[in-house]
Amino acid sequence: MTIEDQLRAILCDVLGLDAERAAALDAGTPLFGAMPELDSMAVAGLLTEIEDRLDILIEDDEVGGEMLETFGGLAAFVKAKRGA
Amino acid sequence: MTAARGPHVLAYADGEFMLAYGSRNGPQLLVLQPLFEEMNRCRAMIAGLCRALAGRGVGCWLPDLPGTGESLRALDTVAWADWLAAVEAAVATARDATGIAPAVLAIRGGALLDDRAGSRRLRLAPTTGRSLLSDLRRSALASGGDPAHPAGYTVPPALAEALGAATPSVEGDIRTLRLASDDRPADHRIEGTPLWRRPEPTTDRDMEFVLASEISSWAMA
């Protein structure tokens, strides 16, 4: 699985998105503030699930801004963390 | 044979709360539940699963650990060693009642405690203590609460420290199930919903059926 596919699977699991919506996520898809399921509590679960499944650690001061703004921003953040 | 599906309420480990489902003849299964909020989120699913397993001839033992669920103890009085001792006591209660050492089903954080139960272990989506603590801390921050008392859980410092260092043990007869959407190592994957991530308690009947089949086959093998 690519990082993007792994993130799609995680967003599906955490937010309960159906497969169609998950498949439609692309780099420009807005996330926090635009996706009703992604409230601040869901962000907590999302970050932990990303840490567990993608084997990275996310510091509190890294959360917010571009990394949660769009799907592409989140993927770029994870890739940078993984050094990929 | 008409197996009483229960559940029956019984006490273990000095007044802690446990439910027992199904026949006491045949395979027996101790069910270690997820920890903290995940326990509440999975409660309906686990109750349904225990009923289904009882219907398939597997007796289930479902303890609420000290400071969790129906326990009368406050979580802030609980130490990690209390949970380990409670698991041992629950095993002993099931074994004394049936003459059979129960196999263990450990769900999520329950897998952090399952090595005390000894025998064969089946794990569903095991996780680490560090991950559970991160979740508690982030949830508290997200709700504007105090990270020291996340989501209404007063986790005493010593318990948090032990939990943070806890990982599922790797020794013994262990079979690990994960959801199909989770590509971490597993012995088998099932389609289903991570109910432990859902803010509202919910169920997934299809997953419950698949799990009941998988678990009963394993318990009877």
C-alpha distance from A13 to closest chain B C-alpha (Å)? 6
Is the ipTM here above 0.90? no
Contact B17, B63 (CB under 8 A): yes
| Whole-Å CA distances, B181 to A7, A28, B128, B165 | 10, 23, 18, 26
**pLDDT, tens digit (0-9, with 9 covering 90-100), for A12-66:** 999 999 889 999 999 999 999 999 999 888 999 999 999 999 999 999 889 888 8
Architecture of domain B8-215: 3-Layer(aba) Sandwich (3.40)
Where on the phi/psi map is residue B131: left (φ > 0), alpha (ψ -120 to 50), or beta?
A: alpha
A30 touches chain B (CB under 8 A): no
**How many independent structural domains does chain A possess?**
1
What is the distance between the alpha carbons of residues B93 and B42, in angstroms, rounded to a whole number?
24
Q: Answer whether A52 sits within 8 Å of B139, measured CB to CB.
A: no
**Chain A partners within 8 Å of B184 (Cβ):** 52-53
Torsion B212-A49-B163-B176 (CA) sign = positive
| Whole-Å CA distances, B198 to A25, B2, B38 | 21, 36, 9
**Placement of tokens 């932990």 in the chain:** A48
> Model's pTM, two decimal places?
0.93
**Placement of tokens 């196999």 in the chain:** B103
**pLDDT, tens digit (0-9, with 9 covering 90-100), for B1-33:** 444 556 999 999 989 999 999 999 999 999 999
Task: Give the CA angle between residues A17, A19, A23 to the nearest 5°.
Answer: 100
Using CB atoms, which residue from A14, A43, A60 is nearest to B197? Answer: A14
Contact B59, B19 (CB under 8 A): no
| pLDDT, position B134 | 92
Domain residues for the domain of A76 are: 3-82
Domain ranges of chain B: 8-215
Domain CATH code at residue A59? 1.10.1200.10
β pairing state of B188-190 and B59-63: unpaired
**pLDDT, tens digit (0-9, with 9 covering 90-100), for B175-220:** 999 999 998 999 999 999 999 998 777 889 999 999 999 999 999 9
What is the distance between the alpha carbons of residues A53 and B180, in angstroms, rounded to a whole number?
13
Using CB atoms, which residue from B131, B179, B198 is nearest to A48? Answer: B131
Sheet holding B59-63, edge to edge: B8-12, B16-21, B59-63, B28-32, B103-107, B121-124, B174-179, B188-190
